[in-house]
């Protein structure tokens, strides 16, 4: 039987997956296995290999065949000024800060890691060129690099169709490109002179010298292909390329996958990025609160950010009740706060008791327990957020927002607080604010399907159907992977089950396609 007519076995696919993972870090387990299967079958047929073993040998001997396969396995979905808020933060905050800490006429080095066909690298250059003094008082260069040589060749050519401009500001195509044909546009020479492209595998054992001393790295929508260990390894290596004060941007769905103690995480509006610090670099206050990266979703705001926040004072005003209320005395003895013991243990027990009361819809009693926690430890984040849950369930959006803001003073990456703020905005009809908050939730936890689901609802309400469909698809994918419990809320009161949400997503996707 001809090899191209015979389906690949699971063992064969795993062998190919292992080879590609070792060479390029790409992983194709679970939902992406079909992509690997289709690509390999196409290349086996074209290379006239009769067995997978023959094709593996062919791959090991012919580097050009490896590149052709990689081209089929990586998605080149990109366009100019994708995720524009990150480019705005780069041009409006990061570069001015770097220039403030540099010497006379500095040269900044910017890297687009995984640049694909070049739209991101040219977008970085255009954003930088708009900054006053670019090219005269200070200068820069952008390097784009990608594992796919065909994509790099296209980037070097710098010619693009109309579809690449689908999300960029109106003036960009007119001011920075020149028409080649009716529907094709070439990047103008003065922009192209600022950008160069290189063919490089991020998993090369040693990076070349030209990759050293970067000031800004954009590494977006690349690590989705990698395992968690591989993400951490590439992140560590890219962090090592940065100079002091250098910044690394990831896409909104990747940011906290890479959290570790190598960099500080900075929040600016609804955008997060990493910054490399040392004792010579001083951040200015207008770059947003800085967050020490230690563990995902347990990152702390720097003391300066807390000191100036009015919400902190509100938390400190709580006082310890002098006598237990009659309501407390009616509760079973094991629900009463112990007279002594470790404060953390007491708070944990009180929180477990409060959660049990909430699940039993005993909301008044639960708030009493939560207030007792906060009287002992005003920095107990989950007590603030569970209280916000209760208040929101009672339609008291204003008080719920206050509780969430108190939680964010303590933990600027509190997923539950962002979700609840989005739900409060949704409840009060503030669509833009709801979208803003649910986007922040996605930054904090890309696998929070509920944030994607609510985002889809908000976009659908605004009739932004393409965005709504995308978010429903992400939510459905996470749900089908069995991640229903990762909704992010301590108290999740909803009459639907996993299958109901999946069907609801499917229904809405079908409706948006009509």
Q: How far apart are CA 364 and CA 346, in angstroms?
A: 20
Pairing, β 184-187 against β 177-179: antiparallel
Token pair listed for 4: 């191209």
* CA dist., res. 151 & res. 199, Å (int): 9
Number of Cβ within a 10 Å radius of residue 10: 9
Q: What is the pLDDT of residue 169?
A: 84
- Cα–Cα distances in angstroms (integers) from residue 263 to residues 260, 277, 291, 292, 293, in the given order: 7, 7, 9, 8, 6
Q: What is the pLDDT of residues 420-458, one digit of tens each?
A: 999 999 888 888 899 999 988 888 888 888 999 999 989
Position 287 pLDDT exceeds 60: no
Report how far residue 65's alpha carbon sits from residue 261's, in angstroms, rounded to the nearest whole number: 39
Return the percentage of the chain with pLDDT > 90, whole number. 27
Whether this prediction's pTM lies above 0.75 is answered by no
Predicted confidence at residue 248, as pLDDT, reads 94
How far apart are alpha carbons 491 and 404 in whole angstroms? Answer: 14
Residue 438, both tokens: 């649910």
Return d(Cα 274, Cα 263) in angstroms, integer: 6
279 CB-contact burial (10 Å; exposed 0-12 / middle 13-18 / buried 19+):
exposed
Could you write out the DSSP letters of every residue in 283-343?
--GGG--EEE-SSTT--EE-HHHHHT-HHHHHHHT----SS--HHHHHS-GGGSPPSSS-H
pLDDT attached to residue 152? 93
> Mind giving me the DSSP string for 423-437?
HHHHHTT-HHHHHHH
- Contact between 354 and 389 under an 8 Å Cβ cutoff? The reply is no
Q: Are 351 and 386 in contact (CB under 8 A)?
A: yes
Distance CA 419, CA 154 (A): 41
Give 9's DSSP letter.
P
3-state per-residue secondary structure call for 474-496: HHHHHHHCCCHHHHCCCCCCCCC
Q: DSSP assignment, residue 90?
A: I
- Crossing angle between the packed helical segments 52-61 and 63-73, to the nearest 10 degrees: 110
pLDDT at 7: 66
Average pLDDT, the chain: 78
Name the residue among 201, 109, 123, 190 with its Cα closest to residue 155. Answer: 123
More confident residue, 11 or 307: 11
- Per-residue confidence band for 310, with pLDDT thresholds at 50, 70 and 90: very low
């Amino acid at each position: 039987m001809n090899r191209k007519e015979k389906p690949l076995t699971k063992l064969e696919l795993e062998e190919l997956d292992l080879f590609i993972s070792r060479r390029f870090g790409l992983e194709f387990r679970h939902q992406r296995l079909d992509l690997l299967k289709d690509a390999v079958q196409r290349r086996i047929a074209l290379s006239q290999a009769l067995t997978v073993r023959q094709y593996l040998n062919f791959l090991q001997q012919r580097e050009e065949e490896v590149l052709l396969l990689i081209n089929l396995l990586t998605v080149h979905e990109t366009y100019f000024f994708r995720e524009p808020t990150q480019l705005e933060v780069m041009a409006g905050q990061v570069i001015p800060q770097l220039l403030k800490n540099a010497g006379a006429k500095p040269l900044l080095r910017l890297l687009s890691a995984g640049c694909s066909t070049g739209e991101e690298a040219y977008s970085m250059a255009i954003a930088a060129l708009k900054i006053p003094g670019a090219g005269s008082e200070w200068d820069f260069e952008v390097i784009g690099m990608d594992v796919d040589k065909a994509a790099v060749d296209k980037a070097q050519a710098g010619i693009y169709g109309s579809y690449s401009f689908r999300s960029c500001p109106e003036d960009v195509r007119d001011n920075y490109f020149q028409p080649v044909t009716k529907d094709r546009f070439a990047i103008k020479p003065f922009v192209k002179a600022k950008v160069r492209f290189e063919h490089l595998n991020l998993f090369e054992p040693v990076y070349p010298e030209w990759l050293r001393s970067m000031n800004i790295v954009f590494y977006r929508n690349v690590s989705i292909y990698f395992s968690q260990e591989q993400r951490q390894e590439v992140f560590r290596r890219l962090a090592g390329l940065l100079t002091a004060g250098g910044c690394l941007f990831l896409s909104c769905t990747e940011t906290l996958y890479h959290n570790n103690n190598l960099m500080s995480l900075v929040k600016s509006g609804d955008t997060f990025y990493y910054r490399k610090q040392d004792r010579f670099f001083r951040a200015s206050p207008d770059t947003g609160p800085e967050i020490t990266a230690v563990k995902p979703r347990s990152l702390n705001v720097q003391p300066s950010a807390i000191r100036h926040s009015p919400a902190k004072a509100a938390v400190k005003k709580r006082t310890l009740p002098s006598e237990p209320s009659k309501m407390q005395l009616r509760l079973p003895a094991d629900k009463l706060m112990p007279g002594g013991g470790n404060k953390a243990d007491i708070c944990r027990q009180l929180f477990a008791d409060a959660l049990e009361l909430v699940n039993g819809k005993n909301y008044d009693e639960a708030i009493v327990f939560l207030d007792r926690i906060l009287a002992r430890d005003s920095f107990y984040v989950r007590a603030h957020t569970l209280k916000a849950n209760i208040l929101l369930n009672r339609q008291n959006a204003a008080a719920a927002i206050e509780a969430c803001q108190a939680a964010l003073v303590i933990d600027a990456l509190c997923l539950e607080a962002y979700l609840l703020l989005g739900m409060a905005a949704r409840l009060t009809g503030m669509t833009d604010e709801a979208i803003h908050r649910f986007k922040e939730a996605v930054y904090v936890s890309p696998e929070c399907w509920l944030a994607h689901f609510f985002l889809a609802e908000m976009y659908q309400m605004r009739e932004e159907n393409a965005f709504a469909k995308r978010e429903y698809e992400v939510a459905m994918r996470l749900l089908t992977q069995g991640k229903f419990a990762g909704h992010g809320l301590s108290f999740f009161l909803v009459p639907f089950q996993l299958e109901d949400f999946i069907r609801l997503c499917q229904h809405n996707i079908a409706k948006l396609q009509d």
